[in-house]
Amino acid sequence: MTALARSDGHVSLRPNCGIFLGNGNSTAFSQRLGPYIFPGYGHRIRGKDGILLCRKPACSLCAVSPEASTVHSDCYEFVAQRSNVDRSLDYLWVVTAWRTPWRRAPKFRLEEAVVKSDWSVFDHVNTSRMRSLPPEILKMIYEYSATSIIWRFNAASEVIQRLTIPSSDHLLSIPLREVSAWKRSGQPWTTETAHNLPVVRLTIDSRGIQEVERLPGNPLFRRWRTDGLVFVTLNHELLDGVIAHFKFGSLRLELPKTCHGIQTWDTPTPPDLQKCRFYPNNILHSTQFKTIDLCQTNGITLFFCNGQVYAIHAHTQKAPCALATYQRLSPRRQRSVAWVYVPFSQRDYITALGARMSLSKSSSFGSTCLLVSGDVSVGLTSARQAKDLLLSKSRSMTMIYDTLELQPVSVIGAYPTGEEDHSPMTPFRHPFIDDAPFSNACFSFASLDLVDCMRVFNDKLTGLCLGILLHYQNGAQRSLGQCRVDVDPVEDYVKPVHLCFRRQVHVRPGTPVQLQATMVRGTSSQEHNHDEQGWTCFEMQGALEFWFSCEETRLTAIVH
């Protein structure tokens, strides 16, 4: 094993719990380093031995440095105490490092489909009653405590069990174009006539490449997606120079230097990019596409920061809450994003999807994302110079966007799955917006007429209003502020007669910074009183303007 030069050693880290440093092409274990303090997202630190530990995205030094598979020190000790680690270093390297399907592949943050439990771990920490729980309850416990050391030791125990399963340590390296089929733990099927099935599809899960398939052509688009898998669909001519490495029942790709990445999808049957419309149209070789079937969604939450979208959650029966999507953001970003919820009621069919383009060179994409369902403007700022771009005008469409670790959404698009409406499009109706009352503010606007129910979302610690969800008599819904569904406590006011709010100031914890805030109440009677001074009461007529950020709010009632 050749040691790294202490003066210029540069190690690219990933946020997986794995083990060790690899050789030049990452097909074998090289050496063990550390322990070190793990750097945060976007940072690099120098260890006491001079090794530079890096987690900066798109780092040019990481692109040429040896790959590393990081491990918690307590997880390593857990494995070392229960197995002969020194005899299994090469195997441990492959099963951990090859979770990344090719060098510099993005961190997909895939959900674990099944929680596999080693009951001896639970017995050791006096939680043996977990044995009696049904799988559904166990999965819920896991989702609420996924970062617990118990689950880390549980995963480490699974690695120990896999060490006892015989598998070949022989490295087989062949061109991917010769592989006709393969599944994890098995041997690849090869043929010299694989080009007769010109499309290769890769299925990737949290453990790396799971399966290789050959298809007669690009699959027809179907409305199915998942957060637990990632898919790659490649035509035969794109396989030149791609090497498939097989070892210990696992597979990893080695891409040629001329390859700048691989596009991925959250569906095995992606749409034809030629039939999609994007803004901006800067699709890259390494773009990670995400899809949302707007016909199967009862709302979306967009996470905004400084006028840009950092994540999007589709509210469905399977995923009614956006908390899991929020938790995939970095801790620093979590502290700065505002939740922008757009409800889709049965009354609100989607008629068109568009994006607002800023004409200012200083403003980037994302300052406004426009979703039209009776004209709903999302994430509007006070920018004056902008024009609208229609992405799709179909009642049946799939929304497409890109995702990249630490970066905002840079591309938004649409794929019509139904017949397009070619009639003239009326201009989008944007409300006139004054200058924002505080930094990093989003604007929302809704009518107060014919409201059947008003749901107020409050901060559970302060009782201050975060957002308001209005249900109208015709079945439509509109949101104002941060409506964090199934996260914050709510107050429902059925058939409200008055909306009452009180502006106030509170202090950011641990600082002298004063923040704007609002208390909101509703009442179903004409006569009512408030115990405190400063309340302003309005009949449910006119409209409501609601400026908000992740920590401030300002409401203004507009009276007819």
Short-list 105, 23, 133, 35, CA closest to 68? 23
What is the mean pLDDT of the segment spanning 454-478? Answer: 95
Whether residue 509 is contained in a domain is answered as yes
**What's the pLDDT at 363?**
46
Handedness of CA 83, 84, 85, 89 (dihedral sign): negative
- Whole domain around residue 158: which residue ranges? 119-163
Longest distance between any two alpha carbons in the chain, whole Å: 84
**What's the pLDDT at 374?**
56
**What's the pLDDT at 117?**
65
| Beta-sheet strand order (sheet of 536-539) | 514-523, 498-507, 536-539
Q: What is the pLDDT of residues 81-110, one digit of tens each?
A: 888 877 788 888 888 889 999 988 988 888
Q: Tell how strand 412-416 and strand 376-378 pair up.
A: unpaired
Last residue of a domain, one of 199, 224, 254: 254
- Give the whole-angstrom CA distance, residue 289 versus residue 402: 5
Q: What is the domain count for the chain?
A: 5
Last residue of a domain, one of 163, 183, 215: 163
Q: How far is CA 328 from CA 201, 405, 433, 484, 489, in A?
A: 26, 9, 32, 16, 22
- Give the whole-angstrom CA distance, residue 320 versus residue 304: 19
**What's the pLDDT at 428?**
61
Whether residue 424 is contained in a domain is answered as no
Regarding whether 137 and 48 lie in a shared domain, the answer is no
Whether residue 433 is contained in a domain is answered as no
Whether residue 510 is contained in a domain is answered as yes
Regarding whether 247 and 156 lie in a shared domain, the answer is no
Question: Which region among 39-43, 266-270, 468-472 has the lowest average model confidence (pLDDT)?
Answer: 39-43
E strands, 163-283, in order:
172-175, 179-183, 189-190, 199-205, 208-215, 230-235, 243-247, 250-254, 277-279
- Give the whole-angstrom CA distance, residue 250 versus residue 229: 17
Regarding whether 323 and 367 lie in a shared domain, the answer is yes
Question: Could you tell me the CATH number of the domain that includes residue 354?
Answer: 2.100.10.30
Round the average pLDDT of the chain to a whole number and report it.
Answer: 83
Categorize the per-residue pLDDT at 524 as very low, low, confident or very high, splitting at 50, 70 and 90.
confident
Question: Which region among 98-102, 147-151, 170-174, 276-280 has the lowest average model confidence (pLDDT)?
Answer: 147-151
> Looking at the predicted structure, is the pLDDT value of residue 269 above 90?
yes
Categorize the per-residue pLDDT at 160 as very low, low, confident or very high, splitting at 50, 70 and 90.
confident
Last residue of a domain, one of 108, 139, 163: 163
> Looking at the predicted structure, is the pLDDT value of residue 116 above 70?
no
> Looking at the predicted structure, is the pLDDT value of residue 558 above 80?
yes
> Looking at the predicted structure, is the pLDDT value of residue 247 above 80?
yes
Q: How far is CA 452 from CA 182, 426, 456, 469, 482, in A?
A: 57, 29, 13, 11, 20
Regarding whether 404 and 342 lie in a shared domain, the answer is yes
Q: What is the pLDDT of residues 362-391, one digit of tens each?
A: 444 444 445 555 556 665 555 555 666 777
Categorize the per-residue pLDDT at 119 as very low, low, confident or very high, splitting at 50, 70 and 90.
low
Whether residue 299 is contained in a domain is answered as yes
**What's the pLDDT at 375?**
57
The pTM (predicted TM-score) of the whole model is 0.85
Q: What is the pLDDT of residues 33-85, one digit of tens each?
A: 777 777 777 778 887 777 888 888 778 888 788 888 877 788 888 888 888 87
- Give the whole-angstrom CA distance, residue 86 versus residue 318: 44
Regarding whether 277 and 246 lie in a shared domain, the answer is no
Most confident of 131-145, 210-224, 426-440: 210-224
Regarding whether 507 and 396 lie in a shared domain, the answer is no
**What's the pLDDT at 146?**
74
Counting Cα atoms < 13 Å in the Cβ hemisphere of 319 gives 21
Regarding whether 237 and 154 lie in a shared domain, the answer is no
Categorize the per-residue pLDDT at 6 as very low, low, confident or very high, splitting at 50, 70 and 90.
very low
Whether residue 107 is contained in a domain is answered as no
Categorize the per-residue pLDDT at 308 as very low, low, confident or very high, splitting at 50, 70 and 90.
confident
Bridge partners for 451 per DSSP: 472
Regarding whether 338 and 399 lie in a shared domain, the answer is yes
**What's the pLDDT at 1?**
30
Regarding whether 406 and 344 lie in a shared domain, the answer is yes
> Looking at the predicted structure, is the pLDDT value of residue 478 above 80?
yes
Question: Which region among 278-282, 398-402, 554-558 has the lowest average model confidence (pLDDT)?
Answer: 278-282
Categorize the per-residue pLDDT at 4 as very low, low, confident or very high, splitting at 50, 70 and 90.
very low
**What's the pLDDT at 87?**
76
Whether residue 425 is contained in a domain is answered as no
Regarding whether 510 and 390 lie in a shared domain, the answer is no
Regarding whether 143 and 182 lie in a shared domain, the answer is no
Whether residue 358 is contained in a domain is answered as yes
> Looking at the predicted structure, is the pLDDT value of residue 3 above 70?
no
Bridge partners for 506 per DSSP: 515
Q: What is the pLDDT of residues 44-57, one digit of tens each?
A: 888 777 788 888 87
Tokens of 333: 């970003």
Residue 211, C-beta contacts closer than 8 angstroms, at least 6 positions apart: 182, 183, 184, 202, 203
What is the mean pLDDT of the segment spanning 464-481? Answer: 94
Counting beta carbons within 10 angstroms of the beta carbon of residue 275, is it exposed (0 to 12), middle (13 to 18) or buried (19 or more)? Answer: exposed
Regarding whether 411 and 281 lie in a shared domain, the answer is yes
